[in-house]
């Protein structure tokens, strides 16, 4: 049996809102492999949740980071450098679009709604990777983003989030090509529907998840833990030959025609 040992390694996990967050499941998998974790939370509203969850790890670092603030992003990397002295893994599990842009007619998306969704859900990966690469260039590293198949196919109501995920997946490939020479790998997991705070903000999410369950080759939806374990694999030396890839963790849904 193979085991993944990440002791001595450190990870920055962005995007824990509560215990249902995919970022939390990923942190749990990385933590179980012995990785030391820095968590971020967006705004005081989520400070308590994240501190409570992360309290099971004695050596965790917990910091505020709204990705629309360059100052907060810089502060996160300065703190990790000071406290951990190294960074091996970064998990980008962040997305946001205004509620009115996640229902109704896509053609009515406002410029402001487009900017907000693309800035928070896609540009942030570029800004964060630029900082992470500086800390990873000495010994290599792994960056992982979370995406959804609405980047490639039409899912009613995902609207501007489909545009954001397409941009995110492109950024994964572009960053992967640029950071490969530093031995920094950049990949994405395209997850099937999991009931989280963000997912429930998309109109019709429950019906979409039921459709996935019925159509997927495995005849079920995935769990957050399955995303966590696939993330652990991708960020570990077992995936040392994989970069620029989108790995579908969706019970096989993406291969189906009808
Ligand atoms: P979630 O609501 O638990 O996580 C989303 C996170 O984004 C939250 O922690 C929120 O605080 C953070 N965020 C939003 N705006 C931010 C900002 N300005 N600065 C910093 N953080 C900000 O939901 P989730 O489903 O775990 O989402 C995590 C990722 O997984 C997202 O990229 C999402 O698109 C992706 N994903 C989710 C599903 C699903 O069905 N749940 C499927 C595929 C992909």
pLDDT, tens digit (0-9, with 9 covering 90-100), for 7-18: 999 999 999 999
pLDDT of residue 201: 86
Give yes or no for residue 248 having a pLDDT over 70: yes
Q: How many CA atoms lie within 13 A of 182 on its CB side?
A: 23
pLDDT, average across residues 81-93: 98
Report, as an integer, the average pLDDT of 204-226: 97
In this prediction, residues 202-213 reach a mean pLDDT of 94
pLDDT of 1 over the 80 cut: no
Which one is catalytic: 41, 158, 248, 253?
158
Ligand 1 touching residue 198 (CB < 6 A): yes
- Pocket lining: 15 vs ligand 1, CB cutoff 6 Å: yes
Cβ–ligand 1 distance for 16 under 6 Å, the answer yes
Output the average pLDDT for the chain.
97
CA 192 to centroid of ligand 1, rounded, Å: 13
- In the prediction, which pLDDT does 202 show? 87
112 pLDDT above the threshold of 80: yes
Return the residue matching tokens 């983003």: 145
Cα of 96 from ligand 1 centre, angstroms: 7
By the 8 A CB rule, do 5 and 33 touch?
yes
pLDDT in tens, 40-76: 999 999 999 999 999 999 999 999 999 999 999 999 9
Asked if 168 and 246 count as a contact pair (C-beta separation under 8 A), the reply is no
- Is 165 part of the annotated catalytic residue set? yes
The residue to mutate among 16, 22, 249, having the most atoms of ligand 1 within 8 angstroms of its beta carbon, is: 22
Would you call 2 a catalytic residue per the annotation? Answer: no
Nearest residue to 95 via CA among 176, 210, 188: 188
Mean pLDDT of the 143-171 span: 98
In the chain, % of residues over pLDDT 70: 100
- What are the residues facing 63 on neighbouring strands? 40
Q: Is the pLDDT of residue 2 over 80?
A: no
Ligand 1 centroid to residue 14 C-alpha, Å: 9
pLDDT surpassing 70 at residue 80? yes
Residue 22: CB within 6 Å of ligand 1?
A: yes
| pLDDT band of 181, cuts 50, 70, 90 | very high
Show contacts of 68-73: CB within 8 Å, 24+ apart.
68/119, 68/120, 70/127, 73/127, 73/128, 73/131
Query: Of the listed 41, 165, 248, 253, which one is catalytic?
Result: 165
194-207 exposure pattern, b = at least 16 Cβ within 10 A, e = fewer: bebebbebbeebee
Q: How distant is the alpha carbon of residue 167 from its chain centre? A: 14
pLDDT value for 145:
99
> What is the average pLDDT across 102-126?
97
Find the 198 Cα to ligand 1 centroid distance in Å.
Answer: 6
Is residue 21 in contact with ligand 1, taking CB distance under 6 Å? yes
d(CA 203, CA 111): 21
In this prediction, residue 49 carries a pLDDT of 95
From the CA of 66, give the closest atom in ligand 1.
19
What pLDDT was estimated at residue 203?
87
């Amino acid at each position: 049996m193979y085991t993944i040992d990440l002791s001595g390694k450190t990870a920055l996990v962005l995007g824990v809102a509560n215990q249902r967050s995919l970022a939390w499941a990923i942190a749990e998998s990385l933590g179980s492999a012995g990785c030391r974790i820095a968590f971020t939370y967006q705004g005081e509203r989520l400070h308590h949740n994240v501190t409570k969850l992360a309290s099971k790890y004695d050596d965790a670092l917990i910091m505020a980071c709204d990705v629309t603030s360059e100052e907060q992003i810089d502060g996160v990397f300065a703190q990790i450098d000071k406290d951990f002295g190294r960074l091996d893994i970064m998990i980008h599990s962040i997305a946001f679009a205004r509620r009115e842009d996640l229902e109704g007619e896509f053609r009515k998306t406002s410029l402001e709604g487009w900017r907000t969704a693309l800035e928070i859900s896609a540009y942030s990966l570029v800004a964060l990777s630029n900082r992470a690469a500086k800390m990873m260039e000495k010994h290599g590293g792994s960056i992982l983003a979370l995406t959804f198949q609405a980047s490639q196919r039409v899912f009613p109501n995902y609207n501007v989030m489909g545009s954001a995920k397409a941009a995110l997946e492109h950024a994964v490939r572009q960053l992967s090509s640029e950071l490969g020479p530093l031995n920094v790998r950049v990949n994405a997991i395209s997850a099937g529907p999991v009931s989280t705070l963000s997912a429930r903000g998309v109109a019709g999410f429950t019906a979409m998840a039921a459709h996935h369950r019925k159509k997927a080759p495995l005849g079920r939806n995935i769990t957050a833990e399955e995303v966590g374990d696939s993330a652990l694999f991708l960020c570990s030396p077992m995936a040392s030959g994989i970069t620029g890839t989108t790995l579908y963790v969706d019970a096989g849904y993406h291969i189906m025609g009808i």
